[in-house]
Chains A and B, each alone.
Chain A
Amino acid sequence: MSVLDVRVWRGTEDGAYQAFEVPRQASQTVLDVVTHIQRALDPTLAYRFACRVGMCGSCAMTVNGVARWTCRTHVDKVAADDRLEIAPLANLPVIRDLVTDMSTFFDKWARARGSFSGTRSRRDDFARVAPQSPARRDVDAAIECIGCGVCYSSCDVVAWNPDYLGPAALNRAWTLERDERDAGRAERLRAVAGDAGCQACHTHMSCSERCPKHIAPTAGIAGLKREVVRAALKGEL
């Protein structure tokens, strides 16, 4: 049986990599590797996971320099020469080892007005949204975000401008801007405009390339840019 040379980040921002040897298995995921290290080699290793099937968005890490969801990343696909370097997500403060503090990430969803504000009560009938309408299709394309932080960690603009809302929060805002039932759209456009908002995106598209759910936040951000400019020209911003 072959062995994987694994280097894992230990400590906080001032930490260092620690080397481990992990037995190679068929169909092994990067999360399996981290779990093996914690269960068999060093129980003090801190990392985060929950569902193991690509739904919860909690196990994202930097694997050989690229942010990935580790539960659905097969070692075969990423470990050239049976080497793995596993680090916490970039652009977020490190709490310990592979665990980052995601408060800023989720606070930005709130800053981008990422919550639905409806107008109907439980006594009203269901809203009827045509599934084939352009707005609904835009929502469909962007709605499956699991909040893993891969896009945020891969974004150059977040690294350069820490106030920038980031791809995930803006993608969420876009799904609500295109939701015809939502009553807070004008207010949301104001929230995503400005120096730290959608106009700061340079369209590098790292978010779209790395999103494990194959969402293209860049497309949503481009839509927000158009909506914001329209509102600015009408004096509604």
Chain B
Amino acid sequence: MSRRGEALLWLAQRASAAVLALCVVVHLATMIYAAHSGLDAAAILARTRGNLPWLAFYSLFLLAVTVHLPIGLRAVLSEWLGWRGRSRDATLIALALALAGLGMRAILGVFG
């Protein structure tokens, strides 16, 4: 990858980390609230279905994960397994697409 590409990947990882820091806190707080307030599945679905702010928040969360995880894994694969080059990057793009697809499926399942 070009020097510019490497630098922009680094920036994307830092920016996605900043988004994740916020999203993970909100997500955990929501989970803890939902678990401790005795909401059942029907009550949770009643709150999430058709809720556009909820959809926007989790879509942003998913986007940050999709960007952040493959870039971090890229460094791990290079440094620990010595796996570099196009085969590694193609595998990670496939992983990112799978994450995005599965994540969006889960989000739409609770939204729709």
> CB within 8 Å of B: which residues of A?
157, 160-161, 190, 193-195, 197, 199-200, 202, 225, 228-229, 231-233, 235, 237
Contact = CB atoms under 8 A, between A and B. Distances in A.
A221 B85 CA distance: 25
B6 A193 contact: yes
B1 interface: yes
Nearest to A161: B79
Given A190-B3, A237-B3, A229 B79 contact: no
B95 interface: no
Contacts of A232: 3-4, 7-8, 11
B57 interface: no
Contacts of B8: 229, 232-233
A199 B7 contact: yes
A229 B78 contact: no
A194 B78 contact: no
A223 to B, nearest CB: 14
B33 interface: no
A194 B2 CA distance: 7
Interface in B1-39: 1, 3-4, 6-8, 10-11
19 contacts: A160-B78, A160-B80, A161-B79, A193-B3, A193-B4, A195-B6, A199-B6, A199-B7, A199-B10, A200-B75, A228-B3, A228-B7, A229-B7, A229-B8, A229-B11, A232-B3, A232-B7, A233-B8, A237-B3
A63 to B, nearest CB: 27
Q: Is the interface of A mostly helix, strand, loop or mixed?
A: helix
A112 to B, nearest CB: 13
B3 to A, nearest CB: 4
Interface residues of B, number: 13
| Secondary structure class of chain B's binding surface, majority of residues | helix
Contacts of B1: 195
Interface of B: 1, 3-4, 6-8, 10-11, 75, 78-80, 84
B74 to A, nearest CB: 10
Given A160-B79, A161-B79, A194 B11 contact: no
Nearest to A231: B7
B4 A161 contact: no
Contacts of B75: 200, 202
B4 A225 contact: no
Find the residue from B4, B8, B78 having the highest chain A CB count within 10 A. B4
Contact of B79 (A157, A225, A233): A157
A194 B6 contact: yes
A65 to B, nearest CB: 22
B7 A161 contact: no
B28 to A, nearest CB: 25
Contact of B10 (A161, A225, A231, A235): A225
Given A199-B10, A232-B11, A237 B79 contact: no
A194 B75 CA distance: 12
Given A199-B10, A200-B75, A228-B3, 14 more contacts: A160-B79, A161-B78, A161-B79, A190-B3, A193-B6, A195-B1, A197-B3, A199-B7, A229-B8, A229-B10, A232-B3, A232-B8, A235-B4, A237-B7
